[in-house]
Structure 1
Amino acid sequence: MIYLIELWESIRDFLSTGGDVLYVVMGALFLMWVLMVERYWFLTGVFPKLKKNIIENWEKRQDTTSWYAHKIRDAWISEADNKLNARILLIKTCVAICPLIGLLGTVTGMIAVFEVMAVQGTGNPRLMASGISMATIPTMAGMVAALSGMFFATRLEARVKRAKHKLIDSLPHH
């Protein structure tokens, strides 16, 4: 329990050092990871049942060679592809927006530094240092968030493509 309290204290200190923009980075990071976990859950838990259902429906069909049968097959593949790719664009958007939010933190931190310099002059390095950390920490946090998301989003996208191709291969053209 003491470990959790100390962990919470360190997170709170980090957030206060980096400024309010870190809360926005944290929100974007949380949203991105919730969406990625949901997509992994869909790929491992829901999609295999959907794939099995599509394959069973295809195998039940009497006609698998006509133009109409191929259009039905294409429609089923398209529906499955839409379900597979749901929220992938939103995940990529979260990955792309994290560094931009970090740069917003850089701007607000530098404004704080210039504000201190205007009021106090350059004689108070401690106040300037807090503004500089408010400028650098959000940038670092945004980049780390984007890098972690980029790696897993790329892997997720590759798994989605693989799942679609396996579905296509499971529905033969007769």
Structure 2
Amino acid sequence: MISFENIELTIKTFHKHGLTKEAALWLLKVYELEHPNFTGFEFREAAKPDFILMTAEGEIGGKQIIRIPENTFEFPLVLMLNLLAHEMMHVKQKAPGVAMQDKNEREWQAYYEMLFHKEFPLIPKASVHHQKFFAEKAMIYYNRSEKEANPLRVKYENQKLEIEELIKSLG
């Protein structure tokens, strides 16, 4: 694998030349995020330091695009990699044969992935600040499921305990 410093340098070069989509596609290859249900990147409004929005869009069971800000690579690369992994989880979840309908479950799984990188093990850990944020978001989606004997709560109980332990360890 290419060193993180070289990956960062390559991304800065792509960004300098206005090749944001190409940079993102290259990262999908380098970090083994590719999926056959993904059809490409499209741009959305510019991100701000306190609000960076990426979305996977397309019908559940159909092909997906990911909308990214044109200024994606003006922000820390580790954070952008985690956001890309989150959206690629949605691409997988919406693929034919999976077609996960429940948005709370999709978001729960995607935020869990941002914390533990089980689907995409090459993605680096985010900062403690962002890990806390991702953990809080995961718990919001977990808590939206009904409390009593909900199959999703039972299915993800062990992952919930992992997140609670992580939150404690982060302080």
- Bigger strand fraction: 2
TM-score (norm 1): 0.23
Give the number of the structure whose alpha-carbon radius of gyration is greater.
1
**TM superposition score normalised by structure 2:** 0.23
